[in-house]
Structure 1
Amino acid sequence: MRKTTVLTATAVLLLAGAAPSIAATQDPRPSSYQLTGDPGGSRFEGIGADQRRGLFYVSETTGGEIHRGSAGHAVTEEWLAGDGTDGRFTARGITVDAAGRVYVAGGPNGIGTGRPDLWVYAPDGSLLAALRAPGNDVFLNDVAIGPDGAAYFTNSNDPQVFRVADDGDGWDAALWADATGTVERRTGFNLGGIVLTADRTAFVVAQGNTGQLWRFDTRSGAVTEVRTRGADLVNADGLVRRGGTLTVVRNFSRMLATLRLSADGRTAELVRQQATDPDRVLTTAKALRGRVLYVDSKFDEQVASGPYEVVTSPFAR
């Protein structure tokens, strides 16, 4: 019996010495994702990625709704209601752990109200915990998973990081690191974006109002400044680390900074600064299955209007 070889169109082109066409090689996934807004206007901020399931979650600051999307579909859904659901009237940073649990930072949700500062949800959307962080002036901004599997939340009002976990006695939020005396509290947003270093020995945390990066040792909580050789990172918001590359989303500066970050997070060398789309204020971003997804916040609009989007290209359309 004669064997028959079946070649794909791309293979035929390669064998013939021709390059594949754009249509044969382009990513079939959407270049942007549509978010559902409120009739009176919506603003968005945080994004978390579930690498295993190919899902992402986006927080709405106006109401606290949590939206969920899939890497392969252009339209997202409202996953969790806001406007007081579980005591949540606003939401900021989001992350997802290896078990698919979703952690949500509440920003100013609990300041002067007694409401929760953060929430933990199971993959099916059921509430696991709604917690207050220690203190009365806590603005939880962003969150990352540590090497111990716990979630670590930054405080934009004071130089603090809180640890949230269920270590066997129920869910608890505790002050993990206090950098008072090392990191100066300034007017505006202080600690924000947070990522784990490549060697998992530290978190790199952005201080947006000063443009500094800080290294929080994961074992001791000791804090030192990341040496950036004076790179301009003012308005640093979201951080994305992929290997040794650190991307800094500089919201109202409308810039994207790319730095080469050492494995231990002690040094970061600026590679380039690029202007982002002038019609958007991008806040934060997450890598999901080979691409980076950026949140268009609508923070620059007095009365926000659609389209509301998560985009894969931060640059001008």
Structure 2
Amino acid sequence: MAFFSAGDRRMTDSSPARRSSPRRLPSLAALLAALLPLAAVAADGARSTITLPGERAFPEAITSTADGTLYVSSLGNGGIFRARPGESQATLWIAPGTYGTRSTFGVLADEKAGVLWVCSNDISAVIGPHVAGSETGAWLKGFDLTTGQGKVSARFPNERALCNDIALGPDGSVYATNTMAPEILKLSADRKTLAVWATDPRFGPSGKDAGLDGIVFGGDGHVYVNTYTKAELFRVDVKDGKAGAVTPITPSRPLVLPDTLRLIEGTTFWLIEGGGRLDRMTVNGDTATIETIKDGFALPTGITQVGKHLAWVSEGQLDLILDPAKRTSRKPAVPFKLHAVPLGAK
């Protein structure tokens, strides 16, 4: 690629007057900075999208490992899709129904433990008996990141439950949100049971409103969560591993269906809005600055960052399977896709 136009040739002129002029250098630096995210996409095999097979994939979440391998859940089919670096189409890695799973929701790669954590829910009453598996209720499942073999299976103790998203504590403890009740749950040390770790009436659903969704530990050691329909943000103080005060966080603008939260650094996070946006959210005290990075997704559901300059967003189109009116009047755009988002130098 040519970095200089004809008008830029004076920068290479050998005359002293020309050599002393630095005026064009800032524009070159700006150009290079702008090209870094694009170079990241090129290095990733020039993929701008990755497709998911099937007409009922409806991806609900996405996660990745350090080598850039992507793992994607499926609300409509169940199971887990995987896309290795350079692949433009994901393939089915864990078959629907494996280890008792039903519709799969939140996914989180835990490389230190060698586990892919997966939320599994029986939502056949809503979407019909299309998903393999026989377990009822809500479950947190753990699969070996190398083999895909089931390793952990813990049921939500509350019958009114939907396992939505997952977070890892600084000590490796595993937490999950319950969308159907005002609960954050924690997996026991022996990985056999889940117990309520934090509860607050403000977390809960009301009427047709969905409750807790995204969850993440900040660099400050506290937990950050959001509610989906009411679009509220909260911080849960953590001391010695125990939940403390719950504080509302006021965003700089109204949010629309906030979903996945993922840590960037400190108290800056990636935030997916089901309304169509990927945001960078920075929390300062009890307020949050929301910066939209990209808009126009069809009900996005998840975000994962690969390296410094690239993120992948899952486009779920979940309204077309969860909303009865839309389910009968509209068909999803297929194939379902994951979208590459080049990131700036922040």
Q: Same fold (TM over 0.5)?
A: yes
Q: Give 2:182's match in structure 1, choosing from 159, 170, 188.
A: 159
User: Residue in 2 aligned with 1:95?
Assistant: 108
**Within-5 A mapping of 1:1-317:** 26-27=39-40, 28-29=43-44, 30-38=46-54, 40-51=55-66, 53-82=67-96, 84-97=97-110, 98-108=112-122, 114=136, 117-123=139-145, 124-165=147-188, 167-168=189-190, 170-180=191-201, 182-186=202-206, 187-200=208-221, 202-218=222-238, 219-228=241-250, 231-243=253-265, 244-251=267-274, 253-262=275-284, 266-273=285-292, 276-277=295-296, 280-290=298-308, 291-301=310-320, 302-313=330-341
Distance change in 2, residues 1:150/1:235 (3 Å):
same
Distance change in 2, residues 1:228/1:141 (3 Å):
same
Percent identical pairs in the alignment equals 21
Q: Are the aligned partners of 1:43 and 1:60 in contact in 2 as well (CA < 8 Å)?
A: yes
Separation of aligned partners in 1, 2:170 and 2:124: 28
Q: Are the aligned partners of 1:192 and 1:207 in contact in 2 as well (CA < 8 Å)?
A: yes
Q: Which has the higher helix share?
A: 2
Q: Are the aligned partners of 2:137 and 2:159 in contact in 1 as well (CA < 8 Å)?
A: no
Structure 1 letter corresponding to 2:185: F
Gaps of 5+ in 1: 1-8
CA distances 1:61-84 after superposition (whole Å, capped 9, x unpaired): 0121201123443232211000x2
TM-score (norm 2): 0.74
Q: Which has the larger radius of gyration?
A: 2
Distance change in 2, residues 1:286/1:226 (3 Å):
farther
Distance change in 2, residues 1:135/1:115 (3 Å):
closer
Instruction: Give 3-state SS (helix, strand or coil) of 2:185's partner.
Output: strand
TM-score (norm 1): 0.80
Separation of aligned partners in 2, 1:131 and 1:184: 22
Q: Are the aligned partners of 1:286 and 1:292 in contact in 2 as well (CA < 8 Å)?
A: yes
* C-alpha deviation, 1:276, in angstroms: 1.5
Deviates more, 1:101-110 or 1:269-278: 269-278
Instruction: Give 3-state SS (helix, strand or coil) of 1:228's partner.
Output: strand
CA distances 1:242-294 after superposition (whole Å, capped 9, x unpaired): 1243232111x2234433224xxx4333243466125x221121112122210
Separation of aligned partners in 2, 1:271 and 1:42: 30
Structure 2 letter corresponding to 1:55: T
Distance change in 2, residues 1:229/1:79 (3 Å):
closer
Separation of aligned partners in 2, 1:229 and 1:126: 41
Q: Are the aligned partners of 1:108 and 1:138 in contact in 2 as well (CA < 8 Å)?
A: no
* C-alpha deviation, 1:234, in angstroms: 3.1
Count of aligned residue pairs for this structure pair: 291
Structure 2 letter corresponding to 1:284: G
Q: Are the aligned partners of 1:119 and 1:129 in contact in 2 as well (CA < 8 Å)?
A: yes
* C-alpha deviation, 1:33, in angstroms: 4.1
Q: Are the aligned partners of 2:105 and 2:120 in contact in 1 as well (CA < 8 Å)?
A: yes
Gaps of 5+ in 2: 4-10, 13-23, 126-133, 321-329
User: Residue in 2 aligned with 1:4?
Assistant: none
Separation of aligned partners in 2, 1:110 and 1:42: 15
Distance change in 2, residues 1:96/1:110 (3 Å):
farther
Separation of aligned partners in 1, 2:82 and 2:101: 17
Distance change in 2, residues 1:71/1:159 (3 Å):
farther
